[in-house]
């Protein structure tokens, strides 16, 4: 039950993009086409799940026992950077179709603050192992949901008559604001 | 780029290449911490510290770093200064550190900082990189100040904790909640475009 609450809240209520403002760069950059948005979402979900597992292990088996918490930032970012590289090589070898689908989105993920944010938030909230994994999957799906919805709206927006100065990033941010407003409706769901 | 004078190098960060309004970099901290002016200032200063010192270090060791591992090296340099800023805030300003939460450690993935190292410090002298970093940080602080002022005044009727709007004012709670951040920045970007076009026409 606890796990289900974490899962639902990570997707809908504390959505990474619309509540924590994490991963705004890909959210605005890769949301122009629906299919690339889906690929990006899947790639992020995938890396987030693995990051959640690995960062938990590092935090609880190495950093905390030896009182090295101040190395959290450095070690997390290095782990994420090398992990993304590793995942990329692994996928290229084992599953070429998946590699084709994710393509250039994998390396981009290194600089995605959502991944780093996930590692830090999970450490901050003191989740145990299972909770961290569920939090990772949920947050990834939440990101996917937000970016896919955004891409759908933006494809329609191309046909709309937007005031000249607001074209591009301006209108995208306003749409995101209205979406965040909509997601606010979920906030009473879980106490 | 080398033909620019030092003062031009400084000023470009304020308007022409303002990191937030023009380059759309570093959006996550911008949107997340601007619900109160004090948080915006703290975030701006912490980012300034990290950006200035990383630029100096990167510019001085740029010849020693092999090209293939440069991004990783920059990240380690940046992460070192972010850790220092994080510990400093936690030790001397616990309430601010608490309200900024994970966003101080997240400076490490702020694209402004890595972007400046890659685009500027790795190609220019120490002095020039220092000036560039100062200008960019000032542009970042100004943007954060504008955004957080609008949000705090409309969302709570206060500025830096002081009451500025009379008791008749009903705070628009939405402005200090996440949707307010997106809406304010979106409208601001539009305004900046309008002002810029006016300026260009008059030149």
ipTM: 0.83
**A74 vs B131: CA distance, rounded Å:** 27
Query: Considering CB atoms only, which of A78, A113, A181 is closest to B109?
Result: A113
Question: What pLDDT sits at residue B25?
Answer: 80
Position B81 pLDDT exceeds 90: yes
Question: What pLDDT sits at residue A191?
Answer: 58
Cβ contact (<8 Å) for B109 and A112?
yes
Neighbouring-strand partners of residue A143: none
Chains A and B: how many Cβ contacts under 8 Å? Answer: 115
What crossing angle do the helices spanning A72-94 and A113-124 adopt, rounded to 10°? Answer: 120
Query: Considering CB atoms only, which of A24, A70, A117 is closest to B83?
Result: A70
Q: What are the residue boundaries of the structural domains of chain B, listed by start? A: 6-202
Position B3 pLDDT exceeds 70: no
Over residues B151-163, the mean pLDDT reads: 87
Which of chain B's residues have a Cβ under 8 Å away from the Cβ of A112? 109
Q: Which residue of B has its CA nearest to A180?
A: B179
Query: Considering CB atoms only, which of B101, B109, B186 is closest to A173?
Result: B186
Which of chain A's residues have a Cβ under 8 Å away from the Cβ of B24? 28, 169
Q: Which residue of B has its CA nearest to A18?
A: B178
- Which DSSP category does B65 fall into? S
CB B171 within 8 A of CB B157: yes
Q: What is the pLDDT of residues B18-33, one digit of tens each?
A: 888 887 787 878 888 8
Q: What is the pLDDT of residues B95-146, one digit of tens each?
A: 988 888 888 888 888 888 888 888 888 888 999 999 999 999 999 999 999 9
Structure tokens at B141: 């602080």
Where do the DSSP E strands lie in B18-160? 158-159
Neighbouring-strand partners of residue B158: B163
Residue ranges of chain A whose pLDDT lies below 50? none
Cβ contact (<8 Å) for B181 and A21?
yes
Which of chain A's residues have a Cβ under 8 Å away from the Cβ of B76? 74, 78
Where do the DSSP E strands lie in chain B? 158-159, 162-163
Structure tokens at B115: 């972007």
**A25 vs B42: CA distance, rounded Å:** 22
Cβ contact (<8 Å) for A169 and B114?
no
Query: Considering CB atoms only, which of B24, B76, B182 is closest to A176?
Result: B182
Cβ contact (<8 Å) for B178 and A21?
yes
Query: Considering CB atoms only, which of A72, A116, A177 is closest to B186?
Result: A177
Q: Which residue of A has its CA nearest to B115?
A: A111
Residue B37: which residues within 8 A CB-CB, separation 6 or more?
Answer: B145, B148, B149, B152, B159, B160
Position B1 pLDDT exceeds 50: no
**A166 vs B192: CA distance, rounded Å:** 10
Question: What pLDDT sits at residue A29?
Answer: 78
Question: What pLDDT sits at residue A60?
Answer: 92
Which of chain A's residues have a Cβ under 8 Å away from the Cβ of B68? none
Cβ contact (<8 Å) for A72 and B181?
no
Residue A103: which residues within 8 A CB-CB, separation 6 or more?
Answer: A39
B186, B187, B191: best mutation site toward chain A, by most A Cβ within 10 Å? B186
């Amino acid at each position: 039950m606890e796990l289900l609450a974490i899962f639902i809240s990570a997707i809908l209520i504390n959505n990474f993009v619309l509540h924590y403002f994490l991963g705004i760069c890909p959210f605005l950059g890769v949301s122009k086409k629906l299919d690339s948005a889906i690929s990006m979402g899947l790639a992020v979900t995938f890396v987030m799940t693995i990051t959640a597992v690995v960062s938990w292990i590092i935090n609880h088996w190495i950093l905390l026992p030896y009182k090295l918490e101040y190395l959290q930032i450095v070690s997390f970012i290095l782990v994420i950077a090398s992990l993304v590289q590793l995942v990329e090589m692994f996928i290229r070898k084992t599953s070429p179709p998946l590699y084709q689908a994710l393509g250039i989105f994998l390396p981009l993920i290194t600089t995605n603050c959502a991944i780093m944010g996930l590692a830090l938030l999970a450490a901050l909230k003191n989740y145990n192992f299972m909770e961290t994994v569920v939090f990772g999957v949920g947050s990834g799906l939440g990101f996917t949901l937000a970016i896919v919805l955004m891409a759908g709206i933006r494809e329609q927006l191309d046909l709309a008559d937007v005031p000249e100065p607001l074209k591009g990033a301006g209108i995208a941010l306003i749409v995101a604001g209205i979406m965040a407003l909509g997601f606010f409706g979920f906030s009473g769901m879980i106490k | 780029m080398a033909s620019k004078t030092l003062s031009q190098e400084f000023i470009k960060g304020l308007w022409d290449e303002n990191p937030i309004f023009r380059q759309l970099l570093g959006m996550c901290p911008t949107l997340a911490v601007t619900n109160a002016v004090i948080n915006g200032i703290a975030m701006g200063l912490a980012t300034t510290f990290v950006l200035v010192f990383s630029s100096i270090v990167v510019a001085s060791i740029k010849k020693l770093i092999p090209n293939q591992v440069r991004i990783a090296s920059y990240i380690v340099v940046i992460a070192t200064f972010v850790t220092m800023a994080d510990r400093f805030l936690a030790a001397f300003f616990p309430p601010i550190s608490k309200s900024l939460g994970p966003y101080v450690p997240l400076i490490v993935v702020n694209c402004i900082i890595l972007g400046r190292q890659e685009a500027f410090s790795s190609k220019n002298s120490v002095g020039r990189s220092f000036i560039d970093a100062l200008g960019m940080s000032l542009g970042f602080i100004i943007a954060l100040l504008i955004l957080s002022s609008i949000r705090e005044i409309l969302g709570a009727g206060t500025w830096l904790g002081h009451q500025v709007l009379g008791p008749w004012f009903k705070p628009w709670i939405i402005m200090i909640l996440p949707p307010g951040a997106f809406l304010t920045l979106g409208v601001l970007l539009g305004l900046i475009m309008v002002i810029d076009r006016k300026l260009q026409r008059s030149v």
